[in-house]
Amino acid sequence: MNDLDVRDRDDVIDRDRQGNPAVDREIKIPAKHRPPVRRRWGGRLFALGGFLLLAAGLSLGVWGQYSQQEQVTATAEQARDFVPSVRVATVEASPGTLSVTLPGTTAAFAAANIFARATGYIATRNVDIGDHVKAGELLAQLAVPELDDQISQNEATLNQLKSALTQAEANRRLRQVTWDRDQPLVEKGWVTRQQGDVDVQNLRAQEAGVAAAKHNVTAQENLVKQLYQNRDYASVVAPFDGVITQRNVDVGSLVQGPPTATSGTFMFEIMQENVIRVSAYVPQDAAFGVAPGVGAVVRVPEIPDREFPGTVTRIADALQPGTRTLLTEIDIPNPDGALTPGIYCTIELHIPRKTSSLSVPADALIFNRNGMQVAVVSNGKAEIRKVNVKRDLGTRVEVDTGLKAGEQVILNPPVALVDGSKVQLRPAAAAPDS
């Protein structure tokens, strides 16, 4: 019997079994050809379990989707009804003066390099580096024997010329007397006119000789005066009160006078220290309020317990194109010499404001595609306003539009904050007990 006959017989038995249960008892089927009844029932149970699992999964999915939708709805309602608690700060009017701190370097009010104006040897040197001197005080004396000889020779020549002048004046007076005597005789015809003309010309010649002698004396006097002036250059004196900061000569050193203005020997450097000059470069945003008379305070890191007040004395009146800064000089009284030239310092300028502005914390700024803005609390709602920042001071900024003094701005505004959003003020933190 083949497998096809077995399958056909099983189908007939199944049909008869459905119509007559007794057939199953009467027909004896060999065990090896009996159908796997237990395996069929196991498959049905497995299908039923799968169906139940599928139904449970679908139920859980529907319930999860419903729960998620409920949660989204609740979150949306909560977000719609949520009123954020914010910290605020009061908008303050900026002070009438702007304080600007800038680096600077001290310099002497006046400084001069002293060169030799005469040629000679240093006979005496009365000062050294660090000595304080007064105006006109002798710093060094030069020995100039050649110049002394020139002075003696030219003085002798001057005396000769003066004697020649005296002789010329005597001859002129003689000719004048002769003409005064002969003039009436010539007029009466007792003396020829030829003689009268000779007397007149002789008198004029003597007058010209006197004038020439006077000019010679004057020229020689100027030459002697120049020699004495050069002799005075042998005495090197201080041009003003100050301190010697450099000394390049010693006793016995040969110094050369200047054939030209800059070829003389450099002898001393002197600086005036009773007033110190400090230069600073003020940036453009503060330069328009700088003017002579503006107050300033100079501080030196090495002198932390002292401040040096002063005033702006001169400005350049033109900003430097490369740096957009204004050169400003401040004079600092220094009667006790506490400040010295060439040290680093800081200058605090108190510059009057040309235009008013308002000060707000930098944490209140909102920067987005709409520009620089702040959020202001008004009647429990946020108002977004555009502002124009004039000056950034780090933790605070100065603005000139969009706000009024006394208004409250929100610090660190939430990202979702929009114009018209309801807000509530966060209570101020209690101060810690001391």
- Cα separation of 377 and 380, whole Å? 6
Task: Spell out the residues 6+ positions from residue 404 whose beta carbon is closer than 8 angstroms to its own.
Answer: 91, 358
Residue carrying the six token digits 């006197």: 210
The CA distance from 6 to 2, in Å, is: 7
- The single-letter code of the amino acid at 210 is V
pLDDT tens digit at each of 434 positions of the chain = 444 444 555 554 455 445 444 444 444 545 555 555 555 566 677 777 777 777 777 777 777 777 777 776 666 655 555 677 888 888 888 887 888 899 998 999 988 999 888 888 999 999 999 899 999 999 999 998 888 888 889 989 989 998 988 888 888 888 888 878 777 877 777 777 787 778 788 888 888 888 988 999 999 999 999 888 888 888 999 999 999 999 999 999 888 877 655 667 889 999 998 899 998 899 887 888 888 989 899 999 999 889 999 999 999 888 888 889 999 999 999 988 888 888 999 999 988 887 778 888 988 888 888 888 888 888 888 888 898 888 887 888 888 888 888 888 888 888 878 888 888 887 755 444 44
343: phi then psi, degrees, rounded to nearest 5: -100, 155
| Bridge partners (DSSP) listed for residue 411 | 87
Spatial CA neighbour of 89 closest among 425, 324, 315, 346:
425
Residue 218 phi/psi, 5-degree rounding, is: -60, -45
Looking at residue 163, the DSSP 8-state letter turns out to be H
Query: Nearest-CA neighbor of 244 among 270, 266, 273?
Result: 270
CA distance 142 to 123: 5
Quote the tokens at residue 46: 């497995």
